[in-house]
């Protein structure tokens, strides 16, 4: 430095020294942010400065030719030691985490060095040849805490290269600081309550649009039901209620067959308001009771000798093994025996209508069931909550094919349909864990109006005139049911067992 001062002047040397010191401080500050500690001690900073100030002589030692334009240097000449006492004693300011708004306040209370050090840096600071460091305040989000002291390897890698102006290293240090912040910001945006709600809403809308793209367009159907009579079981909620509303809107006389009278009255009032229908009637029937079914059928035949549409929609699931007073399993009695008996009791009214339809609401779950006639009386192999539902829907699908075969040529068509996975009250009897999981899955389910469309397709579509004995999927397409449901021998055996169980063969 002394030789450079003689050659180029003290002001130039002061600029160089101040610039180098600023680079050291800038690099140390970056490492501090990434490592969360103070990386430079006094001795390390002094060694870094000495390495930088000697870089000009390293090339001469490696064999480069002497600089002709510089007559002040000799071949064997070595740089003189720094004569600044404060520098030789290691009075380099220790770098602390900045807590104030300015450079001068940052180093208050520290050793300011000797007079010649201050004089070297002051002209540079006054001229403003180098932009001052931006003020910095600790952010609570960063969570800066004290860490272990840096290793010599860390200083050698990050300190020396950054001081030489290696842009790649500086970019790496900046990226190491920014990437955790980016991930933290992304996590905050994704998992904030508002973002989660928005994601769920968009997911629900996309699922709804996807379902509607595969469904029959009800608006394109022009079927008018004025003057016709329709009977719908399980009409106080869910799919049955939505079906009744559409039938009433098209002018049909709709009989709501419900087990609970109070809930049936409430549903009747709501359907009247929604459909503006005036021909709505409520009938009470418990499909798990053969006596209740016979009483309901007698009243219905007296009031309406012709029935144009029968929708066997009512079903239960999730009940433990329970026997009715008549000795029937509760799930099988409601889901199969009840529809079997009611449909046979109304055969005369259906045939008198000239052209009538029977729609049995089955399920894709029928493929997981099997046929065992002993289940009807609860004497078969024990089943869990879901298996009882599966097997009962298999029996209903098998009954559809057999009834269609027996009613050929009568003008009455019989078909079964899978409405799909619909979010209804059918899961209400299940334990809370099942209900909670079903609620989570409800974002992918159909709502009751979408679930009613396949049932309405079988009830209204003109292109299905004369189509009988078929099984329709939730997308309103004819699909083959499971092999057990197609077996004519199984269907015949099940029919005979059901006739004996319901005493149909003893009726007048």
Whether 389 is a known active-site residue: answer yes
Q: How far is it, in rounded angstroms, from Cα 457 to Cα 476? A: 7
Assign residue 122 a region (left: φ > 0; alpha: ψ between -120 and 50; beta: otherwise): alpha
Average pLDDT over residues 460-479: 93
Is 337 in contact with 447 (CB distance < 8 Å)? no
Q: Rounded to an integer, what distance in angstroms lies between the CA atom of residue 354 and that of residue 359? A: 16
Rounded Cα–Cα distance for residues 123 and 132 (Å): 14
Three-class DSSP category at 311: strand
Report yes or no: 32 and 138 within 8 Å, Cβ to Cβ: no
**Alpha-carbon separation of residue 325 from 301, 367, 377, 463 (angstroms):** 26, 30, 11, 43
The residues near 432 (Cβ < 8 Å, ≥ 6 apart) are none
Tens digit of each residue's pLDDT (9 = 90 or more) over 333-392: 999 999 999 999 999 999 999 899 999 999 998 999 888 888 888 777 667 778 888 999
Local confidence band at 64 (pLDDT 50, 70, 90 cut-offs): very low
Which pLDDT value is given to residue 344? Answer: 97
Report CA 16 to chain centroid distance, whole Å.
60
Alpha helices, H only, 333-471? 338-345, 347-352, 385-406, 432-441, 448-460
Q: Which of 32, 304, 336, 389 is catalytic?
A: 389
pLDDT at residue 83, rounded to an integer: 46
Give the pLDDT score at 492. 95
Q: Is the pLDDT of residue 25 over 50?
A: yes
pLDDT band at 53 (very low <50, low <70, confident <90, very high): low
User: How confident is residue 171, by pLDDT bands cut at 50, 70 and 90?
Assistant: low
Compute the distance between CA of residue 139 and CA of residue 177 in angstroms, rounded to an integer: 13
Q: Taken in order 102, 104, 105, 107, is the CA torsion positive or negative?
A: positive
Strand partners for 257: 233, 283
Give the whole-angstrom CA distance, residue 377 versus residue 499.
14
Residue 312 has pLDDT above 90, yes or no: yes
Residue with tokens 């397709």: 457
Task: Tell me how far apart the alpha carbons of residues 188 and 153 are, in angstroms, rounded to a whole number.
Answer: 36
For residue 182, pLDDT beyond 90: no
CB atoms within 10 A of CB 221: 17
Model pLDDT, residue 118: 41
pTM of the model: 0.60
Residues 329, 388 contacting (CB under 8 angstroms): yes
Helices 152-163 & 42-53, crossing angle to 10 degrees?
A: 40
Residue 187 Cα to chain centre, angstroms: 16
Which two three-digit tokens encode residue 319? 């009940």
Q: Which residue, 106, 155, 173, is CA-closest to 134? A: 106
Which among 16-25, 209-218, 334-343 has the top mean pLDDT? 334-343
The predicted model gives 395-424 an average pLDDT of 93
* Strand order across the beta sheet in which 253-258 lies: 280-284, 253-258, 229-233, 309-312, 356-361, 412-417, 471-472
Contact 154, 48 (CB under 8 A): no
> In the chain, what are the domains?
2-131+150-178 (no CATH), 213-506 (3.40.50.720)
Percent of the chain with pLDDT over 90: 39
Say yes or no to pLDDT of 302 above 60. yes
């Amino acid at each position: 430095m002394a030789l450079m001062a003689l050659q180029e002047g003290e002001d130039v040397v002061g600029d160089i020294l101040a610039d180098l010191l600023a680079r050291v401080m800038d690099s140390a500050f970056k490492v501090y942010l990434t490592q969360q500690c103070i990386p430079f001690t006094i001795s390390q900073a002094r060694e870094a400065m000495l390495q930088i100030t000697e870089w000009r002589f390293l090339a001469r030692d490696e064999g480069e030719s002497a600089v002709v334009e510089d007559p002040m240097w000799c071949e064997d000449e070595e740089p003189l030691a720094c004569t600044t006492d404060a520098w030789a004693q290691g009075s380099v300011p220790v770098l602390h985490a900045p807590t104030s708004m300015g450079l001068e306040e940052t180093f208050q209370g520290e050793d300011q060095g000797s007079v010649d050090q201050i004089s070297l840096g002051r002209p540079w600071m006054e001229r403003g040849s180098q932009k001052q460091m931006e003020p910095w305040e600790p952010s609570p989000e960063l969570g800066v805490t004290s860490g272990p002291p840096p290793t010599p390897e860390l200083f050698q890698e990050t300190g020396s290269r950054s001081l030489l102006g290696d842009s790649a290293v500086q970019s790496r240090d900046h990226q190491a600081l920014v990437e955790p912040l980016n991930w933290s910001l992304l996590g905050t945006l994704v998992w904030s309550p508002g973002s989660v709600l928005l994601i769920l809403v968009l997911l629900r809308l996309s699922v709804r649009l996807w379902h509607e793209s595969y469904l029959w367009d009800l608006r394109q159907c022009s079927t008018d039901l004025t003057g016709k009579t329709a009977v719908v079981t399980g009409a106080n909620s869910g799919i049955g209620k939505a079906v009744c509303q559409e039938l009433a809107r098209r002018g049909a006389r709709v009989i709501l067959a419900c087990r609970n009278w109070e809930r049936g009255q409430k549903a009747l009032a709501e359907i009247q308001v929604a459909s503006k229908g005036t021909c709505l009637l409520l009938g009470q029937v418990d499909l798990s009771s053969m006596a209740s079914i016979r009483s309901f059928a007698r009243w219905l035949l007296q009031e309406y000798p012709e029935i144009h549409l029968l929708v066997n929609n009512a079903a239960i699931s999730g009940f433990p093994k329970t026997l009715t007073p008549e000795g029937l399993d509760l799930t099988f009695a409601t889901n199969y025996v009840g529809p079997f008996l009611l449909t046979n009791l109304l055969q005369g009214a259906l045939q008198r209508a000239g052209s009538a339809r029977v729609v049995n609401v089955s399920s894709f779950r029928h493929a997981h069931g099997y046929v065992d006639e002993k289940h009807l009386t609860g004497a078969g192999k024990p089943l869990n909550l879901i298996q009882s539902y599966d097997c009962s829907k298999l029996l209903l699908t098998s009954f559809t094919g057999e009834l269609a075969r027996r009613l050929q040529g009568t003008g009455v068509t019989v078909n079964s349909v899978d409405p799909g996975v619909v979010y209804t009250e059918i899961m209400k009897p299940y334990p809370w864990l099942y209900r909670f999981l079903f609620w989570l899955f409800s974002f992918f389910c159909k709502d009751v109006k979408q679930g009613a469309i396949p049932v309405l397709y079988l009830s209204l579509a003109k292109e299905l005139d004369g189509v009988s004995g078929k099984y329709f999927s939730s997308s309103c397409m004819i699909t083959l049911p499971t092999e057990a449901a197609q077996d004519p021998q199984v269907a015949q055996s099940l029919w005979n067992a059901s006739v004996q169980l319901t005493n149909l063969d003893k009726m007048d």
